[in-house]
Chain A
Amino acid sequence: MSKKRLGNQTVRFVNPPSIISTGSIVGPKEGMGPLKDYFDLILDDDSFELDSWEKAESKMIKEAVKISLGKASLEASDISYMFGGDLLNQLISTTFAARDLNIPLFGLFGACSTMTEALSLGAMSIDGDFADYVIATTSSHFSTAERQFRFPLELGNQRKLTAQWTVTGAGAAILSSTGGGPYITHITTGKVVDFGISDVNNMGAAMAPAAVDTIKTHFLDTGLSPKDYDLIVTGDLGIIGSEIALEMLVKEGFNMHKNYTDCGVEIFDHKIQDTHAGGSGPGCSAVVFTGYLYKLLLEKKIKSLLLVSTGALLSTTSAQQGESIPAIAHAVSITSEYN
């Protein structure tokens, strides 16, 4: 009988790993948004001086890793595992970055939930005493996502009001068995949840039930409630999805109106930047966490955070075959003080 399991889907760590440093790199659009002062590097041009966007996205992961290594005074050879993923077919942004970094790699696919998936597995490997240092990485890029999933950039189509804008961003976080926090104390791993939404232009609505399911499970497993956290943040439900999630959670008896927000809502100024329902992509929660939320934790402006990245697990094939959109959400509980 596992000693670390709580309830159905939660693990409580006996030796909570510390997030000892982070690195965040974003594209120009994100660098003009409300969180622009929190990112380590803002690119002038989202091609990162390379000749394809896929190469640029991979370089962003690599550089985010280097930034976080630099801040922790570590070398890539000190890192036992890289847990990382992205949206591209065969995870090429992550795999090509790992090739150059030479770190043992666990490639992950969780769509936009990958950041907390990576943090979860990284934390488990530290608490399980399998490594001293691991790094969690995630990225997305507006142009690589558009050309793989949606439309060529020069096409004169109109975006729906429910559509979200894929964030160009890469985030990295180094976890360690030693360090003074912020600590990952619990993780709640999500199940795949599908409420029958098949509108590919409304990912927020597709993912909200998964976020609700994981958040609800987290509270039931741990016996905690929303007021035990200074801030609860979902990954990229966007403006519409977060409204839906809040309402569904109230019906379940969890009122989060005072301390809830969403990374997709925070990263852009939607009126000025014309991002419709908000930001999305694995890079969304990655950079908002590694840039903004992590700093809030370090400065103790918030002391406890429940980060819930959310992902839509469809493909263009499944959508064209008429399938609905299944989603998943992984929760990571982070506190700046642990005793």
Chain B
Amino acid sequence: MTYVYTFVVGGTICVIGQLLMDGTKLTPAHVLVLFVTSGVVLTALGIYEPLVEFAGAGATIPLPGFGYSLAKGAINGVKDKGLIGAFLGGVEATSGGIAAAVVFGYLMALLFSSKTKP
């Protein structure tokens, strides 16, 4: 895959989000929940994996990609450990991201303060 596919797919996913926020009553929070859940569902249906292979970061960096990691992790967890893997797998796969968000969030709060918008 080339950077062009990454750019186009990533950009398109963002455009869908933008149109939903501009054109409907959905707030960004609604759109994010919709996207992450869609990522999970599309992965479960086998649709998202080909997109990841095609576009790489264009599919993994936008929030549906987070859903993709969660769903893939849950499925792998079930393959490895049976039913309990459904609970273990998703969070395990995304544990790095969650831990990073917590730690960096705290770190940035320590180092920086919010400033008024101009």
Contacts and interface: CB of A to CB of B under 8 A. Distances in A.
Contacts of B23: none
Contact of B117 (A153, A158, A199): A153
A152 B108 CA distance: 14
B28 A143 contact: no
Most buried by A among B21, B28, B117, B118: B117
A143 B21 contact: no
A104 to B, nearest CB: 33
B114 interface: yes
Contacts of B115: 153-154
Interface in B94-118: 114-118
A142 B117 contact: yes
> Interface residue tally of chain A, by bracket?
10 to 19
Contact of B21 (A53, A158, A199): A158
Interface residues of B, number: 8
B114 A152 contact: yes
Nearest to B28: A157
Interface string A141-156: 0110000000011100
Contacts of B116: 27, 46-47, 53, 142-143, 153
A127 B36 CA distance: 62
Interface string B15-51: 0000001000100100000000000000000000000
Contacts of B28: 157
Contacts of B118: 29
Interface of B: 21, 25, 28, 114-118
18 contacts: A27-B116, A29-B118, A46-B116, A47-B116, A53-B116, A142-B116, A142-B117, A143-B116, A152-B114, A153-B114, A153-B115, A153-B116, A153-B117, A154-B114, A154-B115, A157-B28, A158-B21, A199-B25
Interface of A: 27, 29, 46-47, 53, 142-143, 152-154, 157-158, 199
